[in-house]
Structure 1
Amino acid sequence: MADGIVVAGFGFFLLFFLTAVCGMSGTMAGLAKMIALLVDGVADPAIGLASDRLKSRYGRRVPFMALGLIPFVLSFGLLFSMPESLTGAAQFIYATVCLVVLRVSLSGFVLPYTAVGAEVTDNHTERASIVAYRLSFQNAGILLGVVLGLGVFMSGATGMLERENYGPFGWTCAFAMFLAGMIAIRSVWSVQPRLHGPEESKENLLLGFFREMKELKRNRSFMLLFGTVLLYFLAYSTHSSLALHSSRYFWGLDTTAIQIILLSACLGPVLGAPLSKLILRRMEKRTLSLIAYFAIAVLLFWPPLYQVLSPVKLTPDAAAIVLLINGMLMGTAIMVGGVGFQSMMADTADEHEYLFGVRREGLFFSGLTLAFKAASGVGGLIAGVALDLIRFPTDIASRPDLVIPSEVLTKLALASGPLPALIAFLAPLFLFGYRLTRKRHAEIIAALDARKAGAE
């Protein structure tokens, strides 16, 4: 849930806040995001490996979560409280430092927590259920972030453009993340007896890190999943970074309509969680994810393209209804695809133990988040550069009577819809090479059990 609030803050509000409200250029705002995510991307595998190996009196995984919680909560609040006196390079440095601290500390919290989901059970179906619950609470966090933003602190005709609204929004979100994080830490503490013991290794952590990264490259299943998530999140980040710009200025929607549309995607778990659980009884995880990811590409593509090319344009009221339904379908597809994908990642960790004799849940899910963060950084940069290339105005808050040319709005629509849709269409192509079926996973689990029995 804490992670979901960050996703809402970064995915929907950050680029708009930095450009339209604070006056940063789109390129500089996107560059700040990318620098932070690339720094974090380098740290992620090391955090994952250290989490896999750590043995302490405070329990497995818990110390990393406890150390990461406070810094990421504080940096989130500080980011949206950027002093108005800062301009130019100082503004860029402030945003970049806040983002770097937030991203690295968030990894220290989220990576160990996510790895626990693969440790508490080896059952193929139970893992899908755990992922469904986790993604449901993440979506609840996104929903909470959107409601606090557009429904509470930025409500009203000009609420999105008023700088003084963003500080209270950031600190309220920070407080909610702190409460959710404490509950998560307590939960991981409670399942310590069910977790795998840390690997006994005398190898230097740095040398082990490079060796393990080579092993990951040799795991075909992991590399296919890595490529899938890299392209998918590149598309998603580009789209979500431009969502507020597109909704407000291309579609002409008011704050209430934008809030409802953004929230519609958060309703995905309502349909997606039970739907994925039902379908996975009869369908392979790979097949389910393929269908879901291709559906996401189509749902990203068609609404803005229709509005640009159709002789019959949607009015703002009609567009709100269409985008609401489209958002619900997309949220469902994202949830279904996420359940299949993340449980495939957990199964791949078993395959890795079978192939190399070590368990690396933390390292595996750090690979997942590495792909997410690298893609999010590049996607945010693409969105920022796109705003500058199409000459979309910055510092709109200080120019209330500004009229944006129609050709600029058309280019904005294409950048926020069809462009990320084309990227999203490529993402599931990797999954055609994934071969870890339900039957093969059962064989691997049986072989691992036999190996452990022989060792005893």
Structure 2
Amino acid sequence: MSTEARPERASVRLSARTIVLYAIGSVGTGGYATLPGLVLTYFLTDNLGVAALAAGVIVTAAKIWDVVIDPLIGAASDRQLARTGSRRGFMVLGAVTLPVFFALTFAVPPSWGPMAGAVCVLLAFLATATAFSLFQVPYVALPAELTDGYDERTRLLGWRVVVLTASILLFGAGGPALRKAGDDPVLGYLLMGIVAGLAIGIGMFVATRTADAAAARHIGDESAVATAAGIREQYASGYRALRRSQPFRALLGAFLLQALATGTMLAGAQYVATWVLRSEDAVTFVFVALVGPALVATPAWTVIARRVGKERAFGIASVLFTLAAASLTIAVWTPGAWIYASVAVAGIAYAGLQSLPMAMLPDVISHDERTHGSGRAGTFTGIWTAGETVGFALGATTVSLTLALTGYVSTVAGTMVEQPDAAITGIVLSFSILPALIMLASLLPLHRYRLRRHDIDA
């Protein structure tokens, strides 16, 4: 293991062009993170007639695949950077292939039957997940290479989260609207898959331009050299990164649990709209309530982070989200429009939960570079993306298990059923107290995060 410190590079202010191009990538990441988490389980249970437990297995299996390939893509991205001077190749490949696979995921008709439909959705979503990882892993590595500044990274990631938040609102509200554009739900899902897939791919492709800007800052950085390695060594490299970097372990643990909490709430949103608020279309208003306040709150979290530090601001956002989610438990007894108010408070916190850990990750990477040498950003972001994937996957699994245990009745498109009271209660709990408890647990690893501003700016 190299202990050579990386060469000093002046922390310059990022250009507006670089920030804009990088932020546009979140149109793609926001769309991919939102729509499958929001509608895929519901698509399987209420359109294809797949049992809730089986639907959860499908979504989880695709995410497990992500966990397997993300560390490999991260290590391969580091080698590509060393060999070609840019991470752009993988990013472009992911951007141009994802729209096709995303559309195919929602192209399966109910007439094929639950078994065939489930298999086809699984295969298409596995391909979609692979394409996304090819883009996402190097994309997350770029901030550590674009700037060395503690506050400049917060600025870069803050604007990214503004676009991410707008993207979540666009896809969370627009996706279901496209699905309801016609009388035929089968064609509606197909239209949603095509339009959303193209929008995601375009946003990803635009952001690939920032890979060249990051590479330009590393010209002449001889320490950023990665050597070819086998698969076993690539996984071993990720394990070593986890073992040697205590700040990374702490931040990853907190972020994984928070991805689980928000993933659980996201997967339950459509069910809350349909069976608690009694309208499929209400999911649009849930998303407006969640994301609308976040558009305004993201710059505020940036200001708070500058004054008290990123880690303290992150803790404040976590506590606020916990309280807002816990308050939604009251909907078990008195459902109503008041739910939107609690969701809006959670949305204010959600803005911080998105921007702050993403701004802390480059600090962790630069700290490791300073003490162990550079050239490993892709390794860190591969593990990070895998952890995020695990969290969101288990969120959908948690909702699916809750539905199965409480007797949720799956249906095919066009069929009306009534859900038992126990299933309605399970839906509310998966949207409220479960994510609140998980978020509360995330404060334990976050408390162990030790990096502060002076550690980065030293």
> Does structure 2 retain, via aligned residues, the 8 Å contact 1:289–1:338?
no
Structure 1 stretches lacking a partner, 5+ long? 444-456
Residue type at the aligned position of 1:292: A
Residue type at the aligned position of 1:298: L
> Map of 1:34-183 to 2, 5 A cutoff?
34-55=60-81, 59-154=85-180, 162-183=185-206
Larger displacement relative to structure 2 (186-195 or 208-217):
186-195
Q: Alpha-carbon deviation of 1:57? A: 8.3
Aligned to 1:286: 311
Task: Map Cα deviations across residues 361-401 of structure 1 (whole Å, 9 max, x no partner).
Answer: 2222222211111122222122112211111111153432x
> Does structure 1 retain, via aligned residues, the 8 Å contact 2:79–2:228?
no
> Does structure 2 retain, via aligned residues, the 8 Å contact 1:22–1:163?
no
Inter-partner Cα distance in structure 2 for 1:115 and 1:178: 19
> Does structure 1 retain, via aligned residues, the 8 Å contact 2:102–2:193?
yes
Aligned to 1:387: 403
Residue 200 in 1 paired to residue 225 in 2? Answer: yes
SS, match of residue 262 in structure 2:
helix
Larger displacement relative to structure 2 (364-373 or 205-214):
205-214
> Does structure 1 retain, via aligned residues, the 8 Å contact 2:264–2:396?
yes
Aligned identity (percent) is: 25
Residue 351 in 1 paired to residue 367 in 2? Answer: yes
Q: Alpha-carbon deviation of 1:125? A: 0.1
Task: Map Cα deviations across residues 77-115 of structure 1 (whole Å, 9 max, x no partner).
Answer: 000111333224322221111111111210111111121
> Does structure 1 retain, via aligned residues, the 8 Å contact 2:403–2:426?
no
Larger displacement relative to structure 2 (235-244 or 54-63):
54-63
Task: Map Cα deviations across residues 137-182 of structure 1 (whole Å, 9 max, x no partner).
Answer: 22222222123223343269xx7x9232100011011121222122
SS, match of residue 23 in structure 1:
coil
> Map of 1:387-406 to 2, 5 A cutoff?
387-395=403-411, 397-400=413-416, 402-406=417-421
Aligned to 2:446: 431
> Does structure 2 retain, via aligned residues, the 8 Å contact 1:250–1:410?
no
> Does structure 1 retain, via aligned residues, the 8 Å contact 2:78–2:378?
yes
Inter-partner Cα distance in structure 2 for 1:404 and 1:93: 26
Residue 272 in 1 paired to residue 288 in 2? Answer: no
Residue type at the aligned position of 1:438: R
Q: Alpha-carbon deviation of 1:267? A: 2.2
Q: 1:16 to 1:289 in 2, by over 3 A?
A: same
Inter-partner Cα distance in structure 1 for 2:229 and 2:139: 24
Q: 1:441 to 1:432 in 2, by over 3 A?
A: same
Inter-partner Cα distance in structure 2 for 1:79 and 1:123: 41
Residue type at the aligned position of 1:189: D
Larger displacement relative to structure 2 (283-292 or 380-389):
380-389
SS, match of residue 306 in structure 2:
coil
Residue type at the aligned position of 2:87: R
> Does structure 2 retain, via aligned residues, the 8 Å contact 1:120–1:195?
no
Aligned to 2:57: 31
Aligned to 2:422: 407
Residue type at the aligned position of 1:93: V
Residue 12 in 1 paired to residue 38 in 2? Answer: yes
Q: 1:110 to 1:323 in 2, by over 3 A?
A: same
Q: Alpha-carbon deviation of 1:418? A: 1.0
Aligned to 1:297: 322
Residue type at the aligned position of 2:195: T
Q: Alpha-carbon deviation of 1:283? A: 0.5
Inter-partner Cα distance in structure 2 for 1:285 and 1:60: 29
> Does structure 2 retain, via aligned residues, the 8 Å contact 1:53–1:199?
no
Q: Alpha-carbon deviation of 1:250? A: 1.6
> Does structure 2 retain, via aligned residues, the 8 Å contact 1:295–1:333?
yes
SS, match of residue 129 in structure 2:
helix
Residue 306 in 1 paired to residue 330 in 2? Answer: yes
> Map of 1:188-267 to 2, 5 A cutoff?
188-195=211-218, 199-202=224-227, 204-206=229-231, 208-209=233-234, 210-253=236-279, 255=281, 257-267=282-292
Cα-Cα RMSD: 2.2
Q: Alpha-carbon deviation of 1:258? A: 2.6
SS, match of residue 110 in structure 2:
coil
Residue type at the aligned position of 1:365: T
> Does structure 1 retain, via aligned residues, the 8 Å contact 2:44–2:118?
no
Residue type at the aligned position of 2:369: E
Q: Alpha-carbon deviation of 1:223? A: 0.6
Inter-partner Cα distance in structure 1 for 2:262 and 2:79: 33
Q: Alpha-carbon deviation of 1:46? A: 1.3
Inter-partner Cα distance in structure 2 for 1:71 and 1:235: 30
Residue type at the aligned position of 1:434: Y
Inter-partner Cα distance in structure 2 for 1:199 and 1:20: 50
